[in-house]
Amino acid sequence: MNKTVRHLADGREIIYFDEQARERTAVDTRDLPEVAASSEIRLDPLTREWVGMAAHRQTRTYKPPADLCPLCPSKPGKPSEIPEPSYDVVVFENRFPSFAQGVTGEPSTVDDAGLVPTAPGRGRCEVVCFTSDHDGSFATLTPERARTVVDVWADRTAALSTVDGVEQVFPFENRGEEIGVTLHHPHGQIYGYPFVTPRTRRTLEVARDYQEEHGRPVLGDVLAAERKSGSRVIEEGEHWTAFVPPAARWPVHVLLVPHRQVADIPALNDGERDEFAEIYLRVLRRFDALYDRQLPYIASWNQAPVRTGRDLHWLHLELFSVLRSADKLKYLAGSESGMAVWINDATPEQIAERLRAVG
């Protein structure tokens, strides 16, 4: 993989990851204003969870026509976020970041009352374009390209882990308007959070308690139980198993777990990265075959924080969809949104059987 770092017209970094050696010399000719992020984080005194405030994102790009897609390669008279006429995989700093390095200010409290701590939302947000093909998807990538994306995730996780203020790196993909996607070009994002997320803090607490009681990692035991049972397993290889979690929240819900405990994507070896690309593509193709359409989904990498809990965490990818039938959505209503108590309309065993049946 060949890596080339360039800069866009407003100074943002853009990084080309090419599978073959290529010279990247195109210049961004757009007249862009300097990025002015005003991100802030506030600590909810009732839950002790950080909440991000990013009002500047109200003006971000919203459902542009395909011929004006900002993630496609630039064409004569139609410059985009990628100045080059083609690319393999490309990463660039988000023009409308939820967290950014240029955010100014000092820690304080709301109304100077001492009750609700605030701080600058200092971190980094990047966009990852998986292919220059606007009409493609991750599921239509070749195994070689999917492996390139895995290497890109590893590269960016390592890089963002050294960025000032970043405490956790979160690669993810949102796909489908039902999820809230406003740019249809195949892409994902990477957030460098200025705090450890509530979900990760809770899973680390559970992992610590389980380790102290049983002397083993909780996800390791879950993985072993799922492989032994097989009733919820979707795909299995030498290094990875994909299964519906035994307490699945979503109508379509799969975990991809490596057989070896590692903290993050950079820790995966070549064999693990190769096999992940193949198994992940098969799972995604099962998703799209389920209702004979592109399934809206969120793919969420669960990695260890940069500085804490790395010995407890077990890397895994969580993949889930809000579509409970071909034309019905699962809405997060009172119980889920109000009390965080999930009610699923299907059992994990039923979900697994449906996904296996479309293989």
For residue 151, CA distances in Å to 87, 138, 139, 158 come to: 16, 15, 17, 11
By annotation, the residues acting in catalysis are 187
- What structural domains and CATH numbers belong to the chain? 2-196 (3.30.428.10), 199-357 (3.30.428.10)
> Would you state the torsion angle of the CA atoms of residues 122, 128, 134, 140, taken in this order, to the nearest 10 degrees?
-140
For the full predicted model, state whether its pTM sits above 0.85.
yes
Q: How many angstroms separate the CA atoms of 213 and 64, rounded?
A: 53
Q: How many helices (H) and strands (E) does the chain have?
A: 6, 17
> Can you give the pLDDT of all 359 residues of the chain as single tens digits?
999 999 999 999 999 999 999 999 999 999 999 888 889 999 999 999 999 998 777 666 666 787 889 999 999 999 999 999 999 999 999 999 999 998 989 999 999 999 999 999 999 999 999 999 999 999 999 999 999 999 999 999 999 999 999 999 999 999 999 998 989 999 999 999 999 999 999 999 999 999 999 999 999 999 999 999 999 999 999 999 999 999 999 999 999 999 999 999 999 999 999 999 999 999 999 999 999 999 999 999 999 999 999 999 999 999 999 999 999 999 989 999 999 999 999 999 999 999 999 97
CB atoms within 10 A of CB 100: 24
Residue at token pair 């002397």: 215
Residue 44 token pair? 């909810």
In this structure, how many other beta carbons lie within 10 angstroms of the beta carbon of residue 261?
16
Tell me the C-alpha to C-alpha distance, in Å, between residue 197 and each of 77, 132, 169, 256.
42, 32, 10, 20
d(CA 268, CA 316): 11
